[in-house]
Amino acid sequence: MKLSKVKELLDATVYAGGDRIDEIEVTEACGSDLMSDVLAFVKDQGLMLTGLHNAQVVRTAEMMDMKAIVLVRGKTPSEEIIEIAEEGGIVFMSTEHPMFVACGILYA
């Protein structure tokens, strides 16, 4: 699924990497608020959904070669986080949906 479709389905706002959402395709996703779980259990994921909005989320995504992050529950990233995502080439979005609903929408 293209990130542009993810944006559409989740009615998401794009904060970083908006110029690449039509090009990047993801085939898998994970939803977690525990970055230690992401590091321990995620393999080859393209998209992370999380409620955490700190620099560690972006650093974790970089380490796991993730292409995009979606903040859930209407949270918005700080300018610092947006800059780190841009520097790392990670698309950063936010949706009003809670994590359970957002994951379900993408799964369907």
Instruction: Tell me the pTM.
Output: 0.92
- Per residue in 79-93, pLDDT tens? 999 999 999 999 999
Lowest mean pLDDT among 35-44, 46-55, 76-85, 96-105: 35-44
pLDDT value at residue 44: 66
Q: What is the pLDDT of residue 76?
A: 92
Nearest to 68 by CA among 43, 80, 52, 50: 50
Given a cut of 80, whether residue 54 has pLDDT beyond it is: yes
With a CB cutoff of 8 Å and minimum separation 6, the contacts of 55 are 80, 81, 84
Q: Checking DSSP bridges between strand 47-50 and strand 29-31, what pairing results, if any? A: parallel
